[in-house]
Amino acid sequence: MTEVSERHRRLSRAFADKIAAVPPDRWNAATPCTEWNVRDLVRHVTDNHELFLGLVGRDVRPRPSVDDDPLGAFTTGSDQIQSDLEDPARAGAEFDGYFGRSTFAQAIDRFLCFDLAVHGWDVARATGQDERLFPQDLPWLWAGTELFGDAIRSEGVCGPAVDPPPDADEQARLLSYLGRHV
C-alpha cells in the first residue's frame, strides 16, 4: 500500500463515519461552504469519484443516489477509488488535467483527499461532530494549498481567507486560510 492509498483509506473512513453520524434532521443544515447544505456537500465529494475515474477512462460502479443513501453512494465510489489506488497500473494511469500531466494517484491525493479532509471538517462543523483533523495531515494540507495557488479560492473549495483567532493552533490557522471561521 502506498502513502496515497493509505491516506485515501484513512480519510475516506473518517468521511464515511461523519456521513453515518449525521442526524436525520441535519441533512439540510448550512455548511461553511455557503452554497451547499450537508447533503449537497456529500454529493460534491461523491460526484468527484465519477469525475476522477472518468479522467482515466473508467466509470463509477452503479451506486445509490445521495438523496436516498448518502453513505452508500459515498462508499461505493470510495471503495472503487481505493481498489484502483491499490492496483499499480490503475494508480499510475496518466491523463492531462488542470495542472498538466498527472497520474490517477496524484490527482486523488491532490484533490479528493484534500476534499475529504477539509469537507470532512465542514460536515463535522455543520452537524456538531468532532472537528479535529488528523494532525499528520496538516503539513500535507498546507502543501496542497501552495500547489493550488489562487485556484484554491475557486467555487466550492474555499472562500477568502479570514483572520484566525489570536490563540489559533495549526489546524485553526489552516482552516482560516481556507476561508473557514473556526
pLDDT digits (tens, 9 = 90+) for 51-95: 999 999 998 899 999 999 999 999 999 999 999 999 999 999 999
Residue 74 domain-assigned? Answer: yes
Question: Cell 452537524 maps to which residue?
Answer: 127
Q: What is the CATH number of the domain that holds 23?
A: 1.20.120.450
180-to-3, 30, 109, 138, 149 alpha-carbon distances in Å? 27, 13, 22, 15, 17
Instruction: Give the chain's mean pLDDT.
Output: 93
Residue 151 domain-assigned? Answer: no
* Number of domains the chain contains: 1
What local confidence, expressed as pLDDT, does residue 148 receive? 81
Residue 96 domain-assigned? Answer: yes
pLDDT surpasses 70 at 47: yes
Domain that holds residue 49: 3-137
Give φ, ψ of 37 to 5 degrees. -90, -175
Residue 179 domain-assigned? Answer: no
Q: How far apart are CA 40 and CA 47, in angstroms?
A: 10
In one letter, which amino acid is 134? F
Rounded to 5°, the CA angle 61-30-54 comes to: 25
Percent of the chain residues topping a pLDDT of 90: 84
Residue 161 domain-assigned? Answer: no
pLDDT surpasses 70 at 110: yes
Residue 46 domain-assigned? Answer: yes
Residue 148 domain-assigned? Answer: no
Band (pLDDT 50/70/90 cuts) for residue 152 is confident
Residue 144 domain-assigned? Answer: no
Q: How far apart are CA 126 and CA 149, in angstroms?
A: 27
Band (pLDDT 50/70/90 cuts) for residue 160 is confident
pTM above 0.85, yes or no: yes
pLDDT surpasses 70 at 115: yes
Interval 38-46 mean pLDDT: 97
